[in-house]
Chain A
Amino acid sequence: MRSLVASIALAVVLAGCGTATSSAPSPTASNWSQVLAEAKGQTVNWWLYGGDAATNAFVEDYVAPAAAKLGVTVKRVPVSDTVDAVDRVVAERRAGETSGGAVDLIWINGENFVEGKEAGLWLRNWAQKLPNSRYVDWSSPIINRDFQVPVEGQESPWQGAAFIYGYDSAAVASPPRSFPALLAWAKAHPGRFTYPAPPDFTGAAFVRQVIQRLGGVAKGLRFLRELKPYQFEGGTQFPTSIDELDQLFANGQVDFDMSYNASFLNLGVKKGEFPPTVRPFLIGGALENTSYVTIPADAAHVAGAEVVANLLLDPRLQAKMADPAVLGTPSVLDPARLPAARAAALRGAASRSPYLLTDLGRPLGELPATRDVPIEEAWKREVLR
């Protein structure tokens, strides 16, 4: 299985080089001012997950006002799943629409992006033309590939995501920092650990991390089988969603929680869901990926959408986003490309909160999206039953 990791790493590196060499020409000033002029007066329908109060507030309180200064109105269209937005774009394509679409911008990544890209649903070759994309390290495999699929300028990053864990420092002195340690810990404290059953997004990510860390599907699943009897309810029941695991953790019924949102403890404490004594930790290196925005090819307000996507990369807005008081999610900007002061602000953001990790360690790239389903099937077969 080491070979798998190696091949992934190789692929990542190669892809990074590829993107770097074929990188689109930087946008000319005249070009962008034209976009700005066109965007003026447009209302951008941004379809994004609507169940996170902090993200909604960030959009309403920072993105929308900033866009308004440029004459662009941001209309947040809340969805319960990104696929609702993709479904709409697909339906428009079926109906033969090539312009005037209802979706201008989608918060997207992974499978949804990949399939849409294959079907040619997204606007091509725009992301790297955004003026603020110069702050982004497009050579990074976490940025230029989305679940191993080259982004190719069809989506623009806006949030970093890292898979982290949480514990309550009032209940647990020192959490396990590796999977073998986790197993040992579970054996010593039966019934105090569990994870959501795939296909829940977080549960599936946990399984992928185990597989990656332990060097292969077979080894990963063997580990999970061994872990199972020491889980919550003896492993006979899994939480069916991350919400349920959050609830168990908040209730003190299990000792650890997990999330692909690096700021989930921060936000949970703000919501009143978690006690202030919770702390983040990593088990092995964190899985990392990136949240992007994409523009459908038939979007009615392409210019406006580009302006908003560009704003999302604005160092000031990124600093707000990284600010634990606002969102606390990792920035997608490369500090090395920023003026020193701004870079420091971004770097320092995480250290201002006990609920955020300053060092995510060496990132673990995601597996190709196409492998999700087979892994889930294998997990169901070999662990759940």
Chain B
Amino acid sequence: MVERRLPRTVGTVAVLLFAAPLAVLVVQAFAEVWRYPALLPQRWGLRGFEVAFEGDQALQATLDSFEVALISTAAAILLAWPAARALARGPARLRTAAIVFLALPLLVPPLATGTGLAEWFIRLGLADTRVGVALAHLTVVLPYVLLVLIPGFNPRLRELEEMAASLGMGPVRRLVSVTLPGIRAVLAAAALLGFLVSWSQYGSSLAVGGGLPMLPLTLLPFVGSDPNVAAALSLLFLAPAVLALLLASRAAREAL
């Protein structure tokens, strides 16, 4: 009984929380003329997208955002992997201290981090480069990825690895056929979160990458002044996030 009723509940909730708000975005993106108090636009059209994509600005911004998000997520996973392994066990006091320290950047306003880094990054020639912006993002992406990864390295996984080692599996084979499958769902979640955090960064991007205007920087000026264009850019801004979510949830489901 409960199972039969559930899909409708899911649908309703999804519509209320997600689809309905976003539907407005879609409508607005295609609404050339939508004057008050009409509920639907008076004229549909592609003006929003034409303006948004004027001179490849948005396309370049999307590519830059994507690349930066990939770099910072990959770097965060590389750094967080061994750290999470170490933090999943070990003396409790040391563990807590290390986690608190590594998580501190989460609490600090990204604009502060960005502003503080800007001067150094300019000196180092990192400002306005994809690597530079990815590094600035790494400040917050790393703690997120780390916090998600830590529970993945649980005693059960360790036991499986020990089992594999006892069966004569080398480190590489062990990683590929025991550790990765065992941690896939958590890894997917960490990667997704890392990607999205980087993808959505505004403050730190502005401070160290104003000259490499990524999607949020391109979008913000339109938000008040031109809802049509803002909506078109928002759809673009949202697309990879939704895509990443779908991929990650599939990976997670397969892992279950």
Contact = CB atoms under 8 A, between A and B. Distances in A.
Given a CB threshold of 8 Å, the question of whether A touches B is answered with yes
Interface of A: 45, 47, 49-53, 56-57, 59-60, 64, 76-80, 84-85, 87-88, 91-92, 94-97, 102-103, 241, 243-244, 250-252, 271-273, 275
A385 to B, nearest CB: 26
Given A77-B213, A78-B218, A95-B122, A272 B54 contact: no
Smallest CB-CB A-B distances: 5 pairs: A51-B221, A272-B33, A243-B224, A60-B55, A251-B36
A87 B114 CA distance: 12
Contacts of B34: 272
Contacts of B228: 271-272
Nearest to A95: B122
A84 B54 contact: no
Contact of B211 (A45, A57, A64): A45
Contacts of A56: 51, 54-55, 57
A249 to B, nearest CB: 10
A78 B120 CA distance: 23
A112 to B, nearest CB: 14
Contact of B57 (A49, A76, A103, A250): A76
A97 B57 CA distance: 27
Interface of B: 31-37, 42-43, 47, 51, 54-55, 57, 118-120, 122-123, 127-128, 206-207, 210-211, 213, 217-218, 220-226, 228-229
B222 A50 contact: yes
Contacts of A52: 221, 225-226
Contacts of A64: 55
Contacts of A244: 224
Most chain B CB within 10 A, of A64, A78, A85, A273, is at: A78
18 contacts: A45-B211, A51-B221, A51-B222, A52-B225, A56-B51, A57-B51, A76-B57, A88-B118, A91-B119, A91-B122, A97-B122, A102-B128, A250-B35, A250-B36, A251-B36, A271-B226, A271-B228, A272-B34
A103 B221 contact: no
Given A91-B122, A103-B211, A49 B221 contact: yes
A53 B119 contact: no
B173 to A, nearest CB: 48
Contacts of B55: 56, 59-60, 64, 76
A84 B54 CA distance: 22
A267 to B, nearest CB: 10
